[in-house]
Amino acid sequence: MAAGPVHETLAALDLVDHHCHGAVTAGLDRAGFESLLTEGEAWPGVSPFDSPVGLAVRRHCAPLLDLPRHASPDAYLARRSELGAAEVNRRFLRAAGTGVFCVDTGYAPRPATTPAELAAAADAVAYEIVRLEGVAEAVAAGGVEPDAYAEAFRTAAWEAVRRPGVVGVKSVAAYRTGFDLDPARPSAEEVTRAARSWSARGGRLDDPVLVRHLLWTAVDLGRPLQLHTGFGDSDLRLHRADPARLTDWLHLTAGTIPVLLLHCWPYQRQAAYLSAVFERVYLDVGLTLHHVGPARAGAILAEALEITPFRKLLYSSDACGPAEFHHLGALSFRQGLAGLLQERVDADEVALPDALRIARWTGRDNARRVYGLPGEPGDDG
Ligand SMILES: [Zn+2]
């Protein structure tokens, strides 16, 4: 394995994973595990293990279960069951070497660790990110008159972000409408009308006026806003999740809240552009990191870093489901970033102290700064 001062610094860095989810708490059989390996589905005759992330699990996760590298899927899952979910989670979460997790608690298709449970298993600290669509849908489910919706949502969102341990909010507008929205703040009359038709129709929040209203409410809350962009499951229309489509909204909201573009792939270059021209825009390439594995993480990070200012890139795993992903995300990030920075140091394009600063900023300090997390004094220099 490659070595050198940049690899050593990144290998030892206490990461801040600014966007992840809980780890599944139940045991997983082969079908269950395979369904979580893919953003698609486990189609008949095609194992999700036969994919880049499947190979990465067998290569980089098997040794943590005391198996040889590249163990077969059957051997891997047999050992996983033998150890049990709690021990498997503990091993991968500790191996992640992550000091802080910011956990999106709004999406858990299977029973998963709470932020406190995740923190205990990882021997780390966990904060919470509130998913605003969940807040809006709870308000609607509680029964509210259309003309009282805006105020009820606003009150519920404020209550949610004031809870101890909450450090930011998130929206999945990309999934619900995409970003081709009128960027302006909707009027009270528009919101009431939209709330009326939503309450008649029911279901999840996917009305374009109410999604816009949600994004503007996030601005009023004043907390960092995470936005899903790019890569996701088949519920997404990928082209509508291109963050460049947010440009007009970013102009209108410039100078307000930090906006964190999550995942971004394959639009990491568009996201990089936005982070280079809007003061309060940040990005990560989470989710993609473990799907491409350490073998390609450096290439994705290199594209993200072509023009991203170094205080604007954050680390996230976007691990959701098996704790393997909390580990693989961290490993892919460390190895990918170390590889590309060391290469530039070797070519004398970057001085070693600058490379080490970039590593600490992206892996830890940028997130501390954006979310106002506690850290060692002087680390953020
Ligand atoms: Zn996520």
Q: What is the pLDDT of residues 21-32, one digit of tens each?
A: 999 999 999 999
Rounded to the nearest whole angstrom, what is the distance from the C-alpha of residue 98 to the centroid of ligand 1? Answer: 17
Query: What pLDDT is attached to residue 42?
Result: 83
Chain mean position to CA 374: 20
Rounded to the nearest whole angstrom, what is the distance from the C-alpha of residue 286 to the centroid of ligand 1? Answer: 8
Sign of CA dihedral 204, 235, 115, 369: negative
Rounded to the nearest whole angstrom, what is the distance from the C-alpha of residue 15 to the centroid of ligand 1? Answer: 17
Rounded to the nearest whole angstrom, what is the distance from the C-alpha of residue 316 to the centroid of ligand 1? Answer: 9
Rounded to the nearest whole angstrom, what is the distance from the C-alpha of residue 18 to the centroid of ligand 1? Answer: 10
- Give the mean model confidence (pLDDT) for residues 177-189: 97
Rounded to the nearest whole angstrom, what is the distance from the C-alpha of residue 319 to the centroid of ligand 1? Answer: 7
Rounded to the nearest whole angstrom, what is the distance from the C-alpha of residue 244 to the centroid of ligand 1? Answer: 20
Residue 380's pLDDT band, with cuts at 50, 70 and 90, is low
Rounded to the nearest whole angstrom, what is the distance from the C-alpha of residue 318 to the centroid of ligand 1? Answer: 5
Rounded to the nearest whole angstrom, what is the distance from the C-alpha of residue 193 to the centroid of ligand 1? Answer: 31
Rounded to the nearest whole angstrom, what is the distance from the C-alpha of residue 22 to the centroid of ligand 1? Answer: 10
CA distance 189 to 186: 8
- Cβ atoms of 232 and 39 within 8 Å: the answer is yes
256-285 pLDDT, tens digit each: 999 999 999 999 999 999 999 999 999 999
Rounded to the nearest whole angstrom, what is the distance from the C-alpha of residue 358 to the centroid of ligand 1? Answer: 24
Rounded to the nearest whole angstrom, what is the distance from the C-alpha of residue 320 to the centroid of ligand 1? Answer: 7
**206-210 long-range CB contacts below 8 Å, 24 or more apart?**
206/176, 206/177, 207/177, 208/177, 208/181, 208/182, 210/136
- Give the mean model confidence (pLDDT) for residues 14-38: 95
Query: What pLDDT is attached to residue 81?
Result: 97
CA distance 61 to 68: 10
Residue 377's pLDDT band, with cuts at 50, 70 and 90, is low
Beta bridge partners of 321: 23
Higher pLDDT, 377 or 196: 196
* Numbers of helices and strands, H then E, in the chain: 18, 7
CA distance 119 to 276: 33
Residue 378 has pLDDT above 70, yes or no: no
| Mean pLDDT rounded to a whole number for the chain | 95
Rounded to the nearest whole angstrom, what is the distance from the C-alpha of residue 7 to the centroid of ligand 1? Answer: 27
Residue 109's pLDDT band, with cuts at 50, 70 and 90, is confident
Rounded to the nearest whole angstrom, what is the distance from the C-alpha of residue 42 to the centroid of ligand 1? Answer: 20
- Give the mean model confidence (pLDDT) for residues 127-134: 98
Residue 230 has pLDDT above 90, yes or no: yes
Rounded to the nearest whole angstrom, what is the distance from the C-alpha of residue 186 to the centroid of ligand 1? Answer: 27
pTM for this model (two decimals): 0.96
Rounded to the nearest whole angstrom, what is the distance from the C-alpha of residue 106 to the centroid of ligand 1? Answer: 9
Percent of residues, the chain, with pLDDT higher than 70:
98
* Tokens found for residue 159: 């209550």
- Cβ atoms of 214 and 136 within 8 Å: the answer is yes
> For 96-207, where are the alpha helices, taking DSSP H only?
115-122, 132-141, 149-162, 173-176, 188-201
Rounded to the nearest whole angstrom, what is the distance from the C-alpha of residue 238 to the centroid of ligand 1? Answer: 15
Rounded to the nearest whole angstrom, what is the distance from the C-alpha of residue 103 to the centroid of ligand 1? Answer: 9
Residue 381's pLDDT band, with cuts at 50, 70 and 90, is very low
Rounded to the nearest whole angstrom, what is the distance from the C-alpha of residue 251 to the centroid of ligand 1? Answer: 25
CA distance 185 to 244: 19
DSSP output for 220-287: HHTS-EEEEES---TTS-GGGG-GGGGHHHHHHTTTSS-EEEEE-TT-HHHHHHHHHHSTTEEE--TT
Residue 371 has pLDDT above 90, yes or no: yes
308-349 pLDDT, tens digit each: 999 999 999 999 999 999 999 999 999 999 999 999 999 999
- Give the mean model confidence (pLDDT) for residues 354-378: 92
157-176 pLDDT, tens digit each: 999 999 999 999 999 999 99
Rounded to the nearest whole angstrom, what is the distance from the C-alpha of residue 13 to the centroid of ligand 1? Answer: 22
Rounded to the nearest whole angstrom, what is the distance from the C-alpha of residue 105 to the centroid of ligand 1? Answer: 9
